[in-house]
Amino acid sequence: ARYNLERFVRIPLANGPYQVSPYPQDELVRINAYQELPFSHLLALWSALNSQIAEVWQRLTASDLDRPVILPPADDHQEVDLYWLMDDYLRHLEHHLRQLSLQSPESSLPTWQWTVAAATRALERDPQGRRFVELARWGKLEVEYYAPQGRDLQSPHERDEAYLIIRGTGLFQNGDEEVPFGPGDLLFVPARQEHRFVEFSADFATWVLFVD
């Protein structure tokens, strides 16, 4: 949030397109010892930074929103505008808010670990009653837990993904191919390919790994 606050302040002041630079997220977590701090302290810090971001946003003009922004090399130096960057930040913010609502403050798990039991509880607490739940985003990796009931109704995704089967058996359709699966199997699906689980047992559950 601190780096994003700095960006939202600097972009309206920039002479020409603003170049977004990546930052060493893992190193910042280590140096700030975030994993060792109490949950309440982290929540207060995160809330304060985002409150200040909201204050900055309220003072932006229509011309500020049109300011050109160049994304990092990982995004092919794509040119967007400040409005796009704000919308993208909101999507990430909503993702983190869902994480906060799913993980209890007293949890003893580190931020880099999810157990099957914790993922199952997160799915049960999903306010929308969905059969999948987003658990974590680590760099370009997004992790979900998926436990469909009866039928798998998913459609193709825009990102490459992999399934790491936790429990259950069945058949998996991947394009024109169909294979049996069981616990511990790893299944890869390229972006935009038709796929689904069929004839799976009632206890079926899997990790879902998306890569941006």
Q: Tens digit of pLDDT for each residue in 174-203?
A: 999 999 999 999 999 999 999 999 989 999
Residue 30 region by backbone torsions, left for phi larger than 0, else alpha for psi between -120 and 50, else beta: alpha
- The better pLDDT of the pair 22, 117 is held by 117
**Domains (ranges, CATH) in the chain?**
2-102 (no CATH), 116-211 (2.60.120.10)
Res. 21: pLDDT tops 90? no
Q: What is the largest CA-CA distance in the chain?
A: 60
Q: Are 133 and 126 in contact (CB under 8 A)?
A: yes
- Cα–Cα distance measured from residue 188 to residue 191, given in angstroms and rounded to the nearest whole number: 10
Provide DSSP, 89-130.
HHHHHHHHHHHHHHS-TT--S-TT---HHHHHHHHHT-TT--
Tell me the three state secondary structure of residue 136.
Answer: strand
Task: Write the pLDDT tens digit of every residue in 46-105.
Answer: 889 989 999 999 999 999 999 999 988 765 668 999 999 999 888 888 777 766 655 554
Q: Give the residue among 146, 134, 153, 145 at the shortest CA–CA distance from 195.
A: 153
The answer to whether residues 86 and 59 touch, using CB atoms and an 8 Å cutoff, is no
Q: Quick one: pLDDT band at residue 164, thresholds 50, 70, 90?
A: very high
pLDDT at 3: 85
The pTM assigned to this predicted structure is: 0.53
Q: Which tokens go with 121?
A: 């509880």
Provide the b/e sequence for 153-182 (b: ≥16 CB within 10 Å).
eeeeeeeebebebbebeeebebeeeeeebe
Of residues 111 and 60, more confidence is placed in: 60
pLDDT at 35 over 80: no
Say what the pLDDT of residue 105 is.
45
- Beta-ladder partners of 143: 136, 209
Average pLDDT on 124-136 reads: 82
User: Chain-wide mean pLDDT for the chain?
Assistant: 87
Q: Do the Cβ atoms of 118 and 107 come closer than 8 Å?
A: yes
Q: Please report the pLDDT score of residue 121 as a whole number.
A: 85
pLDDT for 84 equals: 93
Task: Report the distance separating Cα 202 and Cα 149, nearest Å.
Answer: 7
